[in-house]
Amino acid sequence: MNAGQVGQALADRARKRRRVLDILDAAGRDSLLLTSHTALAWYLDGSRVHISLAGDPIAALLVDRTGDRLITFNNEAERLAAEELPPGVELHTVPWHGQLTDAVGALAGPVGPLAEKSVATELRAARQPMLPGESARYAQLCADAAGAMTDVLSRATPETTEFEVASALAARIVAAGAEPLVLLCNGSSRNAFRHPLATHSPLGRRAMAVVCARRHGLVANVTRWVRFDAGTPDELDAEKRIAAVEADILAATVPGARLGGIFTEIQSAYARHGFGADQWTLHHQGGPAGYAGRDPRATAAAATDDVVVPHQAFTWNPSGPGVKIEDTVQLTAAGTSVLTLDPRWPSSDVNGLPRPLTLQL
């Protein structure tokens, strides 16, 4: 990092620490133990605290009024210290065969730390407004993910298999220093599936690909379609209508709105644009984005009725039979900015935003 980036990182870290101390003040406690991938990546500016993508974090972080103490296993400490930890974080170890919690008592004192799950809502609120440094990292990741989609799908043919698309996307995501958390692809023989894990089936005349890529703890989400003919009238009509559903959702996603209100708009948008009132029940609709694929996934439940704030990121993914649209966006001072944008990909203007079209080859 250059001097400006270092200064920005230090300023961002100080603001994050202040947000956590505010949570402690409100709870009347002196320490908090962060244990989830989402919370750790956010607080540590994207430090990689995993080995297996499917495994638990290899560290826990004790935040108290005197500082930040990371507890990890002795076989992980050297790499974390050399390559991952931001300045000012103390490192403590337990044996590789021990438990991270073994060191917490001695570090936290007799009262013990607040458990992360007990302030999950407050921590989620602390993550919502992205700071300048993480916003810049997120924008670059999203651009890289969108570029990978263009690189791979523009070279596809009807004979290309779904696994070949997924493997090519994985190669580009990893080469960009990111981790492919989700890779989906369906050809024309499997376009009824909303979460299509790849198979050896060829793409045929039309296909969808989905990438969720993580770097610096942040997750970019993007869906793209490609076809090898002019498309049927029904497909072209459905693509326009699902874009209209998304446009209504994005228009409702403004600072001060509540997720519950946006979810109500989602439900009515499907009916308004000819998909039927129950279409929202057939797949999840997305929600706030950032350090988790969705943070949280929006539903009609009161538990996810968060207030939208400036500088927050979102990924909505409305879908219907054979159609879906998905990009990662951020609410900026100038309005909604599409982050997963590649100027090489065909797009159309919808309410002032560039929205992806199906790539026709």
Pair 66, 166 in one domain: no
| Burial of 187: CB neighbours in 10 Å, binned 0-12, 13-18, 19+ | buried
> Which residue's entry shows tokens 């009509």?
237
For position 53, what pLDDT does the model report?
94
Phi, psi of 28 (to 5 degrees): 70, 35
As beta bridge partners, residue 67 has 64
Together in a domain, 281 and 345: yes
206 and 297 assigned to the same domain: yes
Q: What is the pLDDT of residue 304?
A: 73
3-state secondary structure of 211: strand
Instruction: Compute CA distances 28 → 16, 17, 23, 54, 110, whole Å.
Output: 19, 16, 9, 35, 15
Same structural domain, 195 and 344: yes
- Give the strand pairing for 327-332 and 335-338: antiparallel
CA dist., res. 291 & res. 48, Å (int): 12
Instruction: Please report, for the domain that includes residue 259, its CATH number.
Output: 3.90.230.10
Three-state DSSP class for residue 52: coil
Among 127, 161, 176, the domain-final residue is 127
DSSP codes, 183-199: EEEE-GGGTT-SS----
State the amino acid at position 223 in one-letter form. Answer: T
- Count of the separate structural domains present in the chain: 2
- My answer on whether 151 and 26 are in the same domain is no
CB 350, CB 250: distance < 8 Å = no
Task: Report the DSSP beta bridge partners of residue 313.
Answer: 289, 330
The backbone region for 182, taken as left when phi is positive above 0, alpha when psi lies in -120 to 50, beta otherwise, is: beta
Cα(229)–Cα(54) distance, integer angstroms: 39
C-alpha R_g of the chain:
22
- Domain end residue (candidates: 73, 95, 127): 127
143 and 227 in a single domain? The answer is: yes
> Which residue range forms the structural domain that includes residue 306?
132-360
241: Cα within 13 Å, side-chain hemisphere = 20
Question: Within this chain, do residues 146 and 121 fall inside the same structural domain, yes or no?
Answer: no
DSSP 128: S
Pairing between β-strand 353-356 and β-strand 347-350 as defined by DSSP bridges: antiparallel
Are 76 and 58 spatial neighbours (Cβ–Cβ below 8 Å)? Answer: yes
Q: Check residue 6 and give its pLDDT.
A: 80
SS3 content of the chain, % helix, strand, coil (to 5): 40, 25, 35
Contact between 211 and 222 under an 8 Å Cβ cutoff? The reply is yes
Residues 120 and 138 in one domain: no
Which is nearest to 89 in space by CA: 30, 15, 13? 13
Q: Are residues 93 and 239 in the same domain?
A: no
Question: How far is it, in rounded angstroms, from Cα 289 to Cα 260?
Answer: 16
213 and 315 both lie in a single domain: yes
Distance between CA atoms of residues 315 and 141, nearest Å: 14
If asked whether residues 92 and 213 sit together in one domain, one would say no
pLDDT tens series, the chain, 361 aa:
787 788 888 899 999 999 999 999 999 999 999 999 999 999 999 999 999 999 999 999 999 999 999 999 999 999 999 999 999 999 999 999 999 999 998 898 888 999 999 999 999 999 999 999 999 999 999 999 999 999 999 999 999 999 999 999 999 999 999 999 999 999 999 999 999 999 999 999 999 999 999 999 999 999 999 999 999 999 999 999 999 999 999 999 999 999 999 999 999 999 999 999 999 999 999 999 999 999 999 998 866 789 999 999 999 999 999 999 999 999 999 999 999 999 999 999 999 999 999 999 9
The residue type at 183: L
Q: Of 68, 95, 127, at which residue does a domain stop?
A: 127
Q: Which residues contact 39 (CB under 8 A, 6 or more apart)?
A: 61, 116, 123, 291
The CATH number that applies at residue 9 is: 3.40.350.10
Q: Are residues 281 and 166 in the same domain?
A: yes
Q: Measure the CA–CA gap between 89 and 91, rounded to whole angstroms.
A: 6
